[in-house]
Homo-oligomer: A and B are copies of this chain.
Amino acid sequence: MTKEALLLTIAVLGGTGKEGKGLAYRWAKAGYRVVIGSRSSEKAVKAASEIMELLEGSSSVVGTTNIEAADQADIAVLTVPYSAHRDTLEGVKSSLKGKILVDVTAPLVPPKLSKVQMPPAGSAAQEAKEILGEDVEVVAAFQSVSHEHLLGEEEIECDVLVTGSSKKAREEVLRLVEAADLIGWDAGPIENSVVVEGLTSVLININRIYGSKHSGIKITGVQKQSSEST
C-alpha cells in the first residue's frame, strides 16, 4: 500500500455502472478509500457492498450521493453516460473546487457509436473544464478499458492515454492508472482529449468489423522507466 493510497479518497461519481464499479474495485484493492457516488444513495450503497464482497471486506468502499461523494473526495472520477455528463457536473461543481476531476466519458452519440462526434467544446473533458471552471483540473482517461477486464485478474492489454489541463494533474492521475495495475502515458494537454475519447469510436468500429469484443491499444517503441511514476 503506497503512501498516496493511505491518504487519498477517490470518489467515483456515477459509480454504480459497470465501468465505475470496475475502477472502484481496482482502487479499493490498491488501498485507496473509495466513495461510490450515485443520484440514488441507495444504489451507491449497494454497489459499494458488492465491491466489498469481491474484496472480502478487506478494503474501504462506501456509497452515497454524488454530491456527498464529491465533497469527501481528494480526486473525483466521472463514469456516467455522456447524456448525464453536464447535469452531473453542474450538480457537483462547488464540491470539486481545488480538486482533480478524471473524466472517463466518451461522448458517443447513438445510433452511430462508431463515428466520432465531439461536442462543440472539442471533447467531453474540455466541456467538463468549461462547466467546472478554473478551480478544477480536468483529466481524460480510462475510456477504452473494458469493465470486464477491470474486474478480472488477467493482464489488461490496453494502455491508458492521459490528457489533461495541467501536467501535475496528469501525473497524479498516472499514479491512479498504475494503482489500477494498468500502463498509462502522458498524452498531453486537454486539447488532445479528442484523440483519447475518439479512440473509443475507432475501437468500436474495429470490434464490429473484425469480430472482437475488447480491442484496445498499446503504445510501442518506448522503453518506460519504472522510476518516472514514483
Within 8 A of B (CB), among A171-230: 185-189, 191-192, 194-196, 198-199, 201-202, 205-207, 209-225, 228
Among A115, A188, A206, A225, residue most surrounded by chain B Cβ atoms (within 10 Å): A188
Residues of A within 8 Å of B, CB-based: how many? 44
Which of B115, B157, B185 is within 8 Å of A192, CB to CB?
B115
A66, CB-defined interface residue at 8 Å: no
Which residue from chain B places its CB closest to the CB of A198 in the assembled complex? B195
Query: Closest chain B residue to A188 by CB distance?
Result: B205
A35 at the interface (CB under 8 A from B): no
User: Is A117 in the interface zone, CB < 8 Å from B?
Assistant: yes
Q: Given the known inter-chain contacts A157-B220, A192-B116, A220-B215, please indicate yes or no for A210 contacting B198, CB distance below 8 A.
A: no
Instruction: Tell me if A161 is interfacial: C-beta within 8 Å of chain B.
Output: yes
A105 CB–B CB distance under 8 Å: no
CB A149 to nearest CB in B, in angstroms, measures: 9
* B199, B215, B221, B223: the one within 8 Å of A195 (CB): B199
Q: List 13 A-B contacts (CB under 8 A).
A: A115-B188, A115-B189, A118-B194, A157-B220, A186-B206, A186-B210, A188-B205, A194-B198, A195-B195, A195-B201, A207-B222, A210-B228, A217-B218
